[in-house]
Chain A
């Protein structure tokens, strides 16, 4: 108790509620997932999660999520930089636009994107003649994943950028640093942990995305079928345990990736000092 003395009271109560909420919202559903999947024998589990078709779907899901998260980092950093460092008309409006993907039902986003990029869509009618066919391809999957993922990067990097004074950069310049050196030596070390967090968040978000992706990808087996589609297909057959098994594979592998990214982040923080 003594070690937790704070200005504001209520440690026990708040910890209690924290555990209650985490239990109800996260831990119990996860345990349910494990219990359901454990009704399968090892053989059945293996057969459910490891077929050529599921492997192709994992490959696409993880590959597209990773690519999308990487693109989100670049776009997100750029947007955050512009929003923090420059003044321009309607800046607050643009700032709030960044939150739109959080609020918009993702199915809407998927529909809009696919309608835009099909052959006679607003953008598709210019792009398709040039040979750029985005709708119903793997590239379209990445595109919507970037859409739902980049705000995470913006919102994690923005506060960090705000906390860095422009004077620090000016000081670096007066000491003879080039622009690249200023970025590489002064800015990057401070924002790298935030960038990694943003990357991890948008990556994790993209892995589980279903609503928007099914509208822009053709859902063709082996080509544009993401793993969550397989889960839904299993549910349609009333095979709950098999569906949960695939979900578990996604869950465990994304959890492992988040741990790796967290370790990386810790390591970069050390390197910063």
Chain B
């Protein structure tokens, strides 16, 4: 009898907890979830506000758009493991394609939207200290004696990967010689005393702790860093750099289950509208509509894409970041 009573008390405690978990997991009907990478929080907030307003004007429907941000790779894993993203806007092609490999996104996703599913693109540039004391103008200056560079670890960060690829590609296009390119990146990482785990960590190392002469960063982050520094930091555009392609995609498995395909498609197409392109440019990303780009701010430079370095991303990942690849060889004693 007593144990019955105890059991009843036990369940009384347990049941509300379970109920709470269930309620907490439920989301409203017409709500989209956009799973993105770290620095895009403000960009998407503004785009979402605009889209929600237009949607209400056009259809009378009130929708909600939730955002989720984190490291691009871990965000992709979250979607693979069941995070119900209607739309993903990740930093790198391999992250989106990893979701496709699990069957959640239809094959050929890249060609479903305009401009290879790129409403915007970006690149990798240099941030230097006020007055550019080490006189850094281009990639070759980074390996001059006494110059230290700050950039995250390519094994754990998208920024890190792009840095290595940009350095490699710039040297390769300059010399047409892979051995030269490998020699250059090996030398470059000897000038990197710290490899932070992510882009945020590197920014803090460079800005707050004032370590290093050059921060090799995403263009949009570089502009924010400069703006917030109040004149203590400057930007340097190298002659060449890599074209960073943060593609967007519909997660087919999720939108079909939730019945949100139509609104999610309208959302993605909205990204190419003049208004959205303006918002994108204001946040220092390069809009796919080049007429919206402020050339004084997002300057012209020669951009090459991954195809200049390898047949595609999968091959590039093996070649540069796989076991025994370029990055491993740099540190092999």
Contacts and interface: CB of A to CB of B under 8 A. Distances in A.
Interface string A91-123: 000000000000000000001001100111100
Interface stretch (B31-39, B204-212, B247-255): B204-212
B328 interface: yes
B153 interface: yes
Interface string A27-68: 000000000000000000001000111000000000000000
Interface string A192-224: 000000000000000000000011001111100
A133 to B, nearest CB: 11
Interface of B: 2-3, 6-7, 10, 71, 73-74, 76-77, 80, 98, 101, 153, 155-157, 193-197, 201, 204, 208-211, 317, 321-323, 328, 331-333
Contacts of A52: 332
9 contacts: A9-B2, A52-B332, A214-B196, A215-B201, A219-B156, A221-B331, A235-B73, A236-B73, A237-B321
Given A111-B204, A220-B195, A229 B209 contact: no
A238 interface: yes
B208 to A, nearest CB: 7
B111 to A, nearest CB: 23
B98 A238 contact: yes
Given A118-B211, A135-B209, A222-B333, 8 more contacts: A13-B3, A17-B10, A136-B194, A222-B331, A233-B155, A235-B73, A236-B71, A237-B317
Contacts of A47: 323
A125 to B, nearest CB: 11
Given A13-B10, A47-B323, A52-B332, A232 B197 contact: yes
A17 B3 CA distance: 13
Contact of B77 (A12, A222, A238): A238
Interface string A232-246: 110111100000000
A239 to B, nearest CB: 10
A10 interface: yes
Interface in A154-200: none
Contacts of A111: 204
B156 to A, nearest CB: 5
A214 B322 CA distance: 21
Query: Among the interface residues A13, A118, A238, which one has the most CB atoms of the partner chain B within 10 A?
Result: A238
A13 B153 CA distance: 50
A219 B197 contact: yes
Contacts of B7: 13
Contact of A218 (B71, B195, B323): B195
Contacts of B204: 111
A13 B6 contact: yes
Contacts of A238: 73, 76-77, 80, 98, 101
Contact of A214 (B3, B77, B201): B201
Query: Among the interface residues A13, A236, A238, which one has the most CB atoms of the partner chain B within 10 A?
Result: A236
Contacts of B201: 214-215
B10 A136 contact: no
Contacts of A136: 193-194
Given A111-B204, A136-B193, A214-B197, A233 B2 contact: no
B323 A51 contact: yes
